[in-house]
Amino acid sequence: MTDYISPWMTDELKALRDVARQFFEREAAPRMAEWSEQRYVDRDFWLQAGELGLLCPTVPEEYGGPGGNILHQVVITQEQSRAVEKGWGNNVHSGVVTDYILKYGTEEQRLKWLPSMIGGRIIGAIAMTEPNAGSDVRAMTGKARREGDEYVINAAKTFITNGQTADLVIVAVKLENPEDSDADPKAITLIAVEADRPGFSRGAPLRKIGQHAADTSELFFTDCRVPVANRIGAEGAGFPALMTQMPQERLILAVNAVVQTEKALQLTLEYTKDRKVFGKPLYQQQNTRFVLAECATLAKAARLFLDHCIVAIGEGRLDNETAAMAKWWLSDVQCKVLDECVQLFGGYGYMEEYPIARMYADSRVQKVYGGANEIMKEIIARTL
């Protein structure tokens, strides 16, 4: 699909694509080994990205943002995925946290936090997952009780992207004493917590089998007091907000899946045409050609479906079930193609210095986070 141009791509988006591509290749790719070792991306990189306008592209100009839309975030995500592993947590910062504040926050909250998020001076995270509550969000046990003009939060969260470096964390909890005495006891409320609040602490960066540069941590809230003014949206309105935002979050995961699939195919084509086996290039072996033909077919179908979803979200009509289809199927394709590509690399495919090996390790969690793929199928099945 070398001559294929996505139907949603415009000249403006191409210009952004070029800026993002050059930035990631110049500033990120050379530092990936360092970031992988320390398990997080340095703060100065966030500031550099902010200066270039690569953070929070959907924020309107009135808050200091570029006034773009989700397509701008998609372009930035694609170029990050092409250049480096999914180590930088901008998709959560810009594609998730920003939109919660924009859509459900107060004007005071937008003015207080968004300008610094755009510049990279505040890094955002969202804390939903708990040790015993992942895809089953309603099973969370984290609590907050209201005392006057404050909430007192007690919760333990895990697998939190940007957890180690975040300055602002939107935490999902259940209220012990909601204002409405008849409120659903399982209802979820979203509260923004600044990282310098007493009672907030972080565990060490979690050591994962892949995505080593991705800042992933446990977060702890122990009698952490936060002003009621920090609540995002109404009491008990967290779950509907989470569900409303999920199609966008899952689309971003699907974007990563397709770009990594395309990149794996490209790397493997180059390798098999150069690598000689039994006196001729590996690519000339019929099995190799057939495997790559299958991978190319999957990659093309994946790209076309992804572009269908991107057009839909750009027009405000990407529904939850289609986003679930994209998330599970495209991540499944990613893992299948990468497995085939690693096999064609032979022993070298298992060596960390080869990008294909790192991509293989990075890919597996795509079928887990953002809602496990089994949950995606349940969402789809309910609409049939």
Query: Quick check: helix, strand or coil at residue 75?
Result: helix
Residue holding tokens 């060490």?
A: 204
| 3 state DSSP class of 188 | coil
Q: Torsion angle of alpha carbons 107, 111, 113, 115, nearest 10°?
A: 140
Residue 210: both structure tokens together: 């892949």
Q: Distance (Å, rounded) from C-alpha 129 to C-alpha 258?
A: 25
Active-site annotation holds for 249: yes
Backbone torsions φ then ψ of 275, nearest 5 degrees:
-75, 130
Q: Count other C-beta atoms under 10 Å from residue 114's C-beta.
A: 23
Assign residue 132 a region (left: φ > 0; alpha: ψ between -120 and 50; beta: otherwise): alpha
Q: HSE-up of 372 (CA within 13 Å, CB side)?
A: 9
Catalytic residue of the set 249, 262, 294, 321: 249
8-state DSSP, 194:
E
Closest C-alpha to 40, from 140, 152, 161: 161
Do the bridges between strand 150-161 and strand 216-227 make them parallel or antiparallel, or are there none, so unpaired?
antiparallel
**Antiparallel, parallel or unpaired: β 143-147 and 150-161:** antiparallel
User: Phi and psi at residue 110, in whole multiples of 5°?
Assistant: -60, -45
DSSP line for 257-297: HHHHHHHHHHHHHHHHHH-EETTEEGGGSHHHHHHHHHHHH
Give the three-class secondary structure for 222.
strand
Hey, CA dihedral for 308, 314, 317, 318, is it positive or negative?
A: positive
Q: How far is CA 323 from each of CA 255, 261, 306, 307, 375, rounded to the nearest angstrom?
A: 11, 18, 10, 12, 12
Strand partners, 145: 152
**Residues designated catalytic:** 249
